[in-house]
Structures are given as structure tokens and as C-alpha cells.
Amino acid sequence: MKNVVSSSLKLSLNRLQQALGYEFQSQTLLATALSHRSVGKDNNERLEFLGDALLSTIIAEELFNRFPEGQEGDMSRVRASLVKGETLAEIAREKNIGECLRLGEGELKTGGFRRSSILADAVEAIIGAIYLEAGLEVCRKIVLFWFADMLDSIELEESGKDSKTRLQEYMQEHKQDLPVYRVVNRLGEAHSPKFEVSCEVHSGGKKTSAISTSKRKAEKLAAKQMLLELGL
């Protein structure tokens, strides 16, 4: 049984590293990043501390470069939404980090591998581990890879309203039916899926589509394309 469990965990870790876009040279470092404090002294809290600081800096720098006219308040708001716990937990779920976590018996019994706070902490710890092993440039590249879709969907000038909200408000203002979103295709491997989502408005029979790592992100990108189609 021990060999079966070990083999299963190794397969999960291989899939995780594929999904992360980074292969650790030190599997011990990866194991530490995945170890919740409930397992004892060798846990991921120090890596989490480091990763939190790195993530904030990397995202801040990217927003600064992407939006040369961006105001401090707007960029701070967007950064906060990107680095918040629920966003990180969503990334963790997309990459199935939960199935690789090392948890103490109590956390295992209470479903800690699904808890958003534990998942978010693990993402930050992995960022810290990548930085220690490969340096800042590689760490930045990996983080921006994870956040690519979210960064691409940012519309800083819209005071926090995303594309779906803007499109919905436009249709309501013009007394038209709300946009309809449908998943038209599922792509990629089971452990790292991508979703193709269509956005359709009955006015003029317009239809757009977009692909992303989650249905929610794909909907936002499809809505953004629809706004362009409508000249907005």
C-alpha cells in the first residue's frame, strides 16, 4: 500500500508541476511549500511570508508598466483584487494544488485541502520556493503566466467594473435582453483544463467567444470582445 500511495503522490506532483509551468530541482523545497503548519515544524509559513511580498511586488510592477497613465488608487484597488486570498485559492483549485498538500490529521478530517485560506497560503509558499530556487526573473515569469488572463481582462479606466458588468448595464440601459454565455468547448488535460465560452446578444445577432483557464475568466474575455463589437 505504501508504494501505491507514494506512486500516486509522485504522479500528482508531476501533474502539479506541469500545471505550474515550473519543475522543481529540489523536491524537498516543493514538499515544504505544500506543508501546512498542522504537520509540524517543517511547514510553509516562512515561504508563504516571502511569497506574499514577492507576489505583491510582481503584480504592482506589472500594473505600473501596463498602465502608464494609471492612477495610484486604481492600481492599488486592482492589485488588491488580484492578490487577495480568494483569487489565489482559485488559482490553487485550477492547478489542483489541494490534492498535493501535506496536512495534519485534524486538517485532513475537516477537509483542509479544500479550504481557501490554506490553498491561498500554499500558492504564496510556492512562489517563495520558486524564487529561492530559480531567482526573481523566473519567479516573475511564472507568476505572470498564472495571472495572464486576469491581467489581460483588466480595464483600469472603468472604476472597477469588469466587462461582464459593463455589457450587462449597456443591455439594460437599451432595454435589450441580457447577454447569454455558454461553454462551447473544453480543452486541455483533465488536470489543467481550458474553457471556450461564447457570449451572444440578440441585438444584431452578434456572438463572440474566448478561451481561458476558468469559465468566469472566459466569460469576461468574451464580454470584452462583445463590447468591442458594439463599439464600446
pLDDT at 48 over 90: yes
Quote the pLDDT of residue 4: 36
Residue 186 scores a pLDDT above 80: yes
Residue range 104-153, pLDDT digits in tens: 887 777 777 788 999 999 999 999 999 999 999 999 999 999 999 888 87
Model confidence at 13: pLDDT above 90: no
CA distance linking residue 204 with residue 171, whole number of Å: 12
Exposed/middle/buried for 8, CB within 10 Å: 0-12, 13-18, 19+? exposed
pLDDT on residue 24? 95
Are 155 and 163 within 8 A, CB to CB?
A: yes
What is the mean predicted confidence (pLDDT) over 79-84?
A: 92
| pTM greater than 0.85 | no
Is 200 tagged catalytic?
no
| C-alpha 51, offset from chain centre | 15
10 Å Cβ neighbour count for 56? 15
pLDDT of residue 203: 67
* Residue 168 in grid coordinates: 450587462
Secondary structure, 3-state, the chain: CHHHHHHHHHHHHHHHHHHHCCCCCCHHHHHHHCECHHHCCCCCHHHHHHHHHHHHHHHHHHHHHHCCCCCHHHHHHHHHHHHCHHHHHHHHHHCCHHHHCECCHHHHHCCHHHCHHHHHHHHHHHHHHHHHHHCHHHHHHHHHHHCHHHHHCCCHHHCCCCHHHHHHHHHHHCCCCCCEEEEEEEEEECCEEEEEEEEEECHHHEEEEEEECCHHHHHHHHHHHHHHHCCC
Residue 20 confidence class, pLDDT cut points 50, 70, 90: very high
Residues 228/210, Cβ–Cβ less than 8 Å: no
pLDDT at site 109: 75
Task: Provide the pLDDT for residue 160.
Answer: 54
Q: What is the mean pLDDT of residues 38-60?
A: 95
pLDDT for 159:
45
Higher pLDDT, 153 or 210: 210
The verdict on whether 94 is a catalytic residue reads no
Q: What is the pLDDT of residues 147-177, one digit of tens each?
A: 998 888 787 655 456 788 888 888 988 888 8
Q: Rounded mean pLDDT of the chain?
A: 87
What is the share, in percent, of the chain residues with pLDDT greater than 90? 48
- Confidence at residue 163, expressed as pLDDT on a 0 to 100 scale: 82
- Higher-confidence residue of 62 and 155: namely 62
- Out of 52, 62, 121, 219, pick the active-site residue: 52
- Split at pLDDT 50, 70, 90, the class of 196 is very high
Catalytic residue among 48, 74, 90, 124: 124
